[in-house]
Amino acid sequence: MKCDFHLHSVFSDGSDTPEKLAAACRAAKLEAVALTDHDTAAGVPRFLAACAENGLRGIAGIELSVDTTQGTLHVLGLGIDPECPELNAALTAVRKGRDDRNRQILARLNELGFVISEDEVRAVTGGEILGRVHFAQVLMRKGYFHSISDVFARCLKKGQPGYVDRYRLSQPEALKMIRAAGGVSVLAHPLLWTEDEVELEARVRQLMALGLQGLEIYYTGYRLEQMVFLLRLAKRLGLAVSAGSDYHGSGKPDVSLGRLTESDGLTILDLLRLR
């Protein structure tokens, strides 16, 4: 099945509206797709309606940024109820953390000599989430850098002068929120957390104890041997198999829609059907 369970719209840091995204998924001949914006489900109702109009199976989703001491830990919630009060209360706290961080980034950038305003940054967002990519877009448009990737490499990624950390949900909180919203929890891009195979398995087992249900195995840029390792890990641990491009539109022009999943193990769609 050709599907994509990791997509972003203008409601976080993607460039496409939910409607444009659904139309692009149809053009790519996808069958099942999930909108997983960062720390918000605000675009989900529009996306599901657009999927229905385009003959797609649309899935309500979210991508939660989760606290970790090493690497990058993101957990997808698929098949969630976007109106879940418990989830939305947690997201309110996350958004406040983002707002605090964004004010610090803006002040730091101006101290570094990059003259931009909050109004300029908000003008390039299409939804409620303002993130580093929006700062990067403004910095690039004003001629300070030649590309978004250049902004991150030299200024906004962790360890660079414009980077500021922010509040994230703890691992137990994130898994609890997805469960409360009736969703299936999936570890996104596992190798961004760690590429050490032994360490990854140990960490995945810890997340499983908190309720983790799936691994994102078919992912943009993963080599065959990496996907084989992740597939074997999922089967050994009894985790469902997921696939996602992490599509952002023009913000990541080298990422295309859709992943072809080939697995004789449990899939995310199986879990969604069994609920």
Q: Domains of the chain, with CATH numbers?
A: 2-90+184-274 (3.20.20.140)
Residue 6 has pLDDT above 70, yes or no: yes
Question: To which H or E segment does residue 259 belong?
Answer: strand 259-260
Contacts of residue 76, defined as CB under 8 A and 6 or more positions apart, other chains included, come to 5, 6, 34, 36, 61, 62, 63, 64, 185, 186, 187, 188, 216, 242, 244
Do the Cβ atoms of 227 and 201 come closer than 8 Å? no
pLDDT tens digits, one per residue of 46-105: 999 999 999 999 999 999 999 999 899 999 999 999 999 999 999 999 989 989 999 999
Residue 142: phi and psi, rounded to 5, are: -85, 5
What pTM, to 2 d.p., does this model score? 0.88
More confident residue, 272 or 45: 45
**Mean pLDDT score of the chain:** 92
- Determine the 3-state secondary structure of 192 from DSSP: helix
Q: Report the candidate in 166, 144, 204, 274 with the shortest Cα–Cα distance to residue 136.
A: 144
**Closest to 16 in 3D by CA, of 127, 128, 151, 119:** 127
Check: CB of residue 241 under 8 Å from CB of residue 263: yes
User: Strand, coil or helix: what is 218?
Assistant: strand
What SS3 class is residue 133? Answer: helix
pLDDT digits 0-9 by tens, 195-244? 999 999 999 999 999 999 999 999 999 999 999 999 999 999 999 999 99
Point out the least confidently predicted range of 33-37, 55-59, 130-134: 130-134
Give CA–CA dist 175/169, Å, rounded: 9
Q: With a cut of 70, say whether residue 275 has pLDDT above it.
A: no
